[in-house]
Amino acid sequence: DNVAEPECLKGTVAKVTENALHLKNANIPESAAGTRELTVLLDKDTKYYDGTKRITREALQPDHIVLVYCRMAGKDRQAALVRIIGGKKL
């Protein structure tokens, strides 16, 4: 099984649902397309942080700038960890 390094995306939260994080302005490392909208799957194992502090999924709000460490689950990206690094100050 190909266990790739987790990919790290940076983006702005557009919407959070129970099992998906919708990003806008997502920066995909290997993509030449620049930024785009992207959906990353969430599950019970996804961990959430604000800086170094553990938070709940409910604390994630639209316009938070986040780093999402994800791995591929089939054709989808599955988030292992979501970290808020900024936003909401505008």
pLDDT band at 90 (very low <50, low <70, confident <90, very high): very low
The DSSP result for 46-60, as a single string, is: -EEEETTEEE-GGG-
Q: Is the pLDDT of residue 40 over 70?
A: yes
**SS3 at position 19:** coil
Q: What is the per-residue burial (b if ≥16 Cβ within 10 Å, else e) of 35-44?
A: eeebebebee
pTM of this structure = 0.85
pLDDT band at 89 (very low <50, low <70, confident <90, very high): low
